[in-house]
């Protein structure tokens, strides 16, 4: 009688689900706890007694030059690009990592459950 050394597909998906959850949640925790450094400011706006940094892309001069060369569409696209870039930094990135690892783990759970049901 031949002994099968390899895991069944359902067991592989169950193991993969655990690995995805461990790696995803651990990396999300590390990213969440890592401090983000503030970006260099092009200028500052002082409101009351607090100075708020203004990024180069947010300055009136940069926006005016961008509108002059590329029109309103360039300003909108640059704003969208900046917001998309900010989405993948710091705590937002940690949330995205945690949610995507949960979704992938749920997909592996569904695949393992379906394979186990078919056996």
Please give the backbone phi and psi of residue 91, each rounded to the nearest 5 degrees, phi first: -70, -30
> How does pLDDT run across 55-83, given as a tens digit for each residue?
666 677 778 888 888 888 988 898 898 88
Please list, in sequence order, all residues whose beta carbon lies within 8 angstroms of the beta carbon of residue 43, skipping any fewer than 6 positions away.
53, 54, 59
- How much is the pTM? 0.67
pLDDT digits (tens, 9 = 90+) for 83-116: 888 888 888 999 999 999 999 999 999 988 888 8
The residues, any chain, with a CB within 8 Å of residue 41's CB and separated by 6 or more, are 53, 54, 55
- β-strands 43-47, 50-54: how paired? antiparallel
Please report where in the chains the tokens 């900046």 appear, as a residue. Answer: 82
The pLDDT, as a whole number, for residue 22 is: 96
């Amino acid at each position: 009688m031949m002994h099968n050394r390899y895991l069944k597909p359902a067991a592989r998906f169950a193991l993969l689900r655990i690995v995805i959850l461990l790696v995803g949640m651990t990396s999300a925790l590390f990213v969440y706890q890592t401090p983000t450094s503030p970006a260099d400011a092009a200028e500052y706006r002082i409101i009351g007694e607090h100075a708020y940094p203004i990024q180069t892309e947010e300055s009136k001069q940069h926006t005016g030059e961008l509108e002059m060369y590329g029109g309103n569409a360039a300003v909108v696209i640059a704003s969208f690009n900046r917001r998309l870039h900010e989405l993948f930094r710091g705590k937002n990135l940690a949330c995205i990592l945690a949610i995507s690892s949960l979704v992938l783990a749920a997909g592996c759970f569904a695949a393992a459950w379906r394979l186990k049901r078919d056996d």
